[in-house]
Chains A and B, each alone.
Chain A
């Protein structure tokens, strides 16, 4: 129902988004995963007809969304990455204003405001100025304002950035609820892979303005199906151990962790033996070894050689 075709955005010399293709089917929940500066916000802005693309198309129901943006705008809800509210006004006043902007009025507007306040759990604080809210509450009202006009497509740009786990779970549950029981299509942007893994049916992984992998959680992880992740705990880190580790033929990636090293390697080889041999050579005392099923984080690491957050 919503798709992009070779979507590109150039800022002066920098290409923030390059030839990006993605699509959303009705009722789907799709994740857009990528590190800082990957181009997620830029992509979303172009899809939401805020930022004109340098080239490429956004199609909504097979029509060019940039030619006639009003149709898409009416059914779209965008939650910006920052708190985009009049902070000196109350939650209620903000909702009333943005509701009216979408053409809601009178009784209908009031009852929608009540419903959404209930949903985001802010009914009791609705009369207070937004600037007096806690971080988590601000995030909730930032989402709430977007829900007033009952959008069919909800685009969220890192809606849980910088808040406590409790508020985060509240928000995630809420989004899942909106997606599952009300059939709202969700495009969810994040650099937290756990969120995307939990929430989304399908995931696009983005880096340097390009999509480097896409598919369902399982499909993505199967990229790593012939690889495994091994965590090695050591008493003290040793540079020569790490260096030798990454030189082993089976190892595709070795990186330092808090307690030791994380190794991604091809399956089925006699890796563990080699590791213990190395530890003897470099006199690094291994205190533990564990094998782990891969996560999206590992997929990203595998594809880019970097972690999502550094």
Chain B
């Protein structure tokens, strides 16, 4: 079994192009779909009708302490015109003790922006309250008084959710490609006859299969880990600290996909046909399962039902839960269970189909 396992690695290292290509694709797609947007800070023009120039710029300093948004100074006429011409989606009006938004069109970021501005305002107002109560101007009250605010990190912004969905979705999607393409080898070996050579040998079928399948699983896991590691260290994407949960999910997901692979190899007899079938299966699964767009935007009941049958849906759902919502293993039982169950069912049917085919396979 380990001999078979090791051999497949030797072969993979001789021809690593496939894995590297799909790893590269993951990075490229993440970069174009999420990276560019994530890097950008969103510019928010501000205006004021009552505040002095100085007061307005004080507010701007305070608002610009965090980096997600960049607040710039402008005036009412300009932003009004910009919004009317649809060049800007929104603008923020700053006043002494209140704020207002001019909103031209709906934008993903508005709710986050409102939440953020609201938080800063209430913080400032409370500090102001305290200053007045103590009647002093020079003490930095924030040193003494902890102001309770909801941190931004806890409730993930829609931008963050989108970004993580792309990262997870693409990493899983391209690992599906790699795994399924690598598994074509099973069918190829039956064609070239190396599989038959192994059957002639004293190795049992179970061991041959186990060695092979372990290899595909590990190769898939390796690819996902590499993708996430590179995205973390090079692009700076944060995955939190739920390493155990993430690992369990990745392993279960890869198991489900390897099983799906067995099913495909059992259904589709020739490597040539597989070359066509694999992209179709991988892509439609990714579309239905929500790797390309969030399932929230889907309303068709049939599509939503189909999504339930896609392993990638549970992979994404579970990973997002572990990374963004800080869920623990016990809270992730649903996606994990679904993946394992699918894996077992696919594997059972797949092996049976494969063996039925090989009943007619001579040398």
Interface pair A73/B3, CB less than 8 Å apart = no
Contact with A along B1-36 (1 / 0, CB 8 A): 001100100110011000000000000000000000
Instruction: Enumerate chain B residues within 8 angstroms of A157, measured Cβ to Cβ.
Output: 363
CB closest chain-B residue, reference A84: B193
Interface pair B194/A41, CB less than 8 Å apart = no
Distance in Å: Cβ of A67 to nearest Cβ of chain B: 15
The answer to whether the Cβ of A223 comes within 8 Å of any Cβ in the partner chain is no
The answer to whether the Cβ of A74 comes within 8 Å of any Cβ in the partner chain is yes
Interface pair A102/B360, CB less than 8 Å apart = no
Distance in Å: Cβ of A12 to nearest Cβ of chain B: 8
The answer to whether the Cβ of A25 comes within 8 Å of any Cβ in the partner chain is no
Docked Cα-Cα span, A74 to B11, in Å, equals: 26
Q: A74-B202, A80-B197 are in contact. Are A100 and B3 (CB under 8 A)?
A: yes
The answer to whether the Cβ of B305 comes within 8 Å of any Cβ in the partner chain is no
Interface pair B359/A80, CB less than 8 Å apart = no
Instruction: Enumerate chain A residues within 8 angstroms of B201, measured Cβ to Cβ.
Output: 73, 98, 101-102
Interface pair B200/A145, CB less than 8 Å apart = no
Interface residues of A in 48-75 (CB under 8 A from B): 48-52, 70, 73-74
Docked Cα-Cα span, A97 to B10, in Å, equals: 11
CB closest chain-B residue, reference A39: B362
CB closest chain-B residue, reference A71: B202
CB closest chain-A residue, reference B14: A88
Interface pair B362/A101, CB less than 8 Å apart = no
Interface pair A86/B194, CB less than 8 Å apart = yes
Distance in Å: Cβ of B197 to nearest Cβ of chain A: 5
Contact with A along B333-363 (1 / 0, CB 8 A): 0000000000000000000000000011111
CB closest chain-A residue, reference B208: A101
Interface pair B197/A145, CB less than 8 Å apart = yes
Instruction: Enumerate chain A residues within 8 angstroms of B199, measured Cβ to Cβ.
Output: 49-50
Docked Cα-Cα span, A15 to B95, in Å, equals: 92
The answer to whether the Cβ of B306 comes within 8 Å of any Cβ in the partner chain is no
Instruction: Enumerate chain B residues within 8 angstroms of A101, measured Cβ to Cβ.
Output: 3-4, 198, 201-203
The answer to whether the Cβ of A4 comes within 8 Å of any Cβ in the partner chain is no
The answer to whether the Cβ of A103 comes within 8 Å of any Cβ in the partner chain is yes
Interface pair B196/A84, CB less than 8 Å apart = yes
Instruction: Enumerate chain A residues within 8 angstroms of B198, measured Cβ to Cβ.
Output: 101
The answer to whether the Cβ of B241 comes within 8 Å of any Cβ in the partner chain is no
Contact pick for B360, options A11, A74, A103, CB 8 Å: A11
Contact with B along A28-62 (1 / 0, CB 8 A): 00000000000001101100111110000000000
Instruction: Enumerate chain A residues within 8 angstroms of B204, measured Cβ to Cβ.
Output: 70
Q: A78-B197, A80-B197, A100-B3 are in contact. Are A89 and B10 (CB under 8 A)?
A: yes
Q: Determine the main DSSP class of B at the interface with A.
A: helix
Interface pair A50/B11, CB less than 8 Å apart = no
Instruction: Enumerate chain A residues within 8 angstroms of B361, measured Cβ to Cβ.
Output: 50-51
Distance in Å: Cβ of A168 to nearest Cβ of chain B: 20
Interface pair A84/B197, CB less than 8 Å apart = yes
Contact pick for B362, options A45, A76, A93, A103, CB 8 Å: A45
Docked Cα-Cα span, A51 to B15, in Å, equals: 32
Interface centre among B3, B199, B201, B203, by most A CB within 10 Å? B201
Docked Cα-Cα span, A97 to B2, in Å, equals: 11
Interface pair B11/A81, CB less than 8 Å apart = no
Interface pair A102/B202, CB less than 8 Å apart = yes
Docked Cα-Cα span, A81 to B363, in Å, equals: 7
CB closest chain-A residue, reference B15: A88
The answer to whether the Cβ of A22 comes within 8 Å of any Cβ in the partner chain is no
Q: A70-B202, A101-B198 are in contact. Are A82 and B193 (CB under 8 A)?
A: yes
Interface pair B10/A80, CB less than 8 Å apart = no
Contact pick for B11, options A44, A73, A89, CB 8 Å: A89
Docked Cα-Cα span, A24 to B143, in Å, equals: 96
Docked Cα-Cα span, A81 to B196, in Å, equals: 11
Docked Cα-Cα span, A102 to B201, in Å, equals: 6
The answer to whether the Cβ of A83 comes within 8 Å of any Cβ in the partner chain is yes
Interface residues of A in 205-263 (CB under 8 A from B): none
Interface pair B202/A103, CB less than 8 Å apart = yes
Interface pair A86/B11, CB less than 8 Å apart = yes
Contact pick for B10, options A50, A82, A93, CB 8 Å: A93
Contact pick for A41, options B7, B10, B203, B363, CB 8 Å: B363
Interface pair B7/A97, CB less than 8 Å apart = yes
Docked Cα-Cα span, A76 to B361, in Å, equals: 19
Contact pick for B14, options A42, A89, A97, CB 8 Å: A89
Instruction: Enumerate chain A residues within 8 angstroms of B363, measured Cβ to Cβ.
Output: 41, 44-45, 48, 50, 78, 80-82, 84, 157
Instruction: Enumerate chain B residues within 8 angstroms of A73, measured Cβ to Cβ.
Output: 200-202
Docked Cα-Cα span, A156 to B359, in Å, equals: 21
Docked Cα-Cα span, A89 to B202, in Å, equals: 22
Interface pair B11/A88, CB less than 8 Å apart = yes
Docked Cα-Cα span, A88 to B202, in Å, equals: 24
Docked Cα-Cα span, A117 to B192, in Å, equals: 22
The answer to whether the Cβ of A301 comes within 8 Å of any Cβ in the partner chain is no
Instruction: Enumerate chain B residues within 8 angstroms of A74, measured Cβ to Cβ.
Output: 202
CB closest chain-A residue, reference B359: A52
Distance in Å: Cβ of A127 to nearest Cβ of chain B: 13
The answer to whether the Cβ of A20 comes within 8 Å of any Cβ in the partner chain is no
The answer to whether the Cβ of A85 comes within 8 Å of any Cβ in the partner chain is yes
Instruction: Enumerate chain B residues within 8 angstroms of A103, measured Cβ to Cβ.
Output: 202
Instruction: Enumerate chain A residues within 8 angstroms of B4, measured Cβ to Cβ.
Output: 101
Interface residues of B in 251-293 (CB under 8 A from A): none
Distance in Å: Cβ of A159 to nearest Cβ of chain B: 12
Distance in Å: Cβ of B218 to nearest Cβ of chain A: 18
CB closest chain-B residue, reference A16: B362
Distance in Å: Cβ of A286 to nearest Cβ of chain B: 47
Interface pair B194/A84, CB less than 8 Å apart = yes
Given contacts A11-B360, A97-B7, 6 further A-B contacts (CB under 8 A): A42-B362, A45-B362, A80-B196, A88-B15, A101-B4, A103-B202
Chosen A-B contacts, 13 in total, with CB atoms closer than 8 Å, are A11-B360, A51-B362, A52-B359, A70-B204, A73-B201, A78-B196, A80-B193, A82-B193, A83-B193, A84-B192, A84-B194, A102-B201, A102-B202
A-B complex: 4 closest residue pairs judged by Cβ atoms: A84-B193, A45-B362, A80-B363, A80-B193
Give me the interface of B with A, judged by CB distance under 8 Å: 3-4, 7, 10-11, 14-15, 192-194, 196-204, 359-363
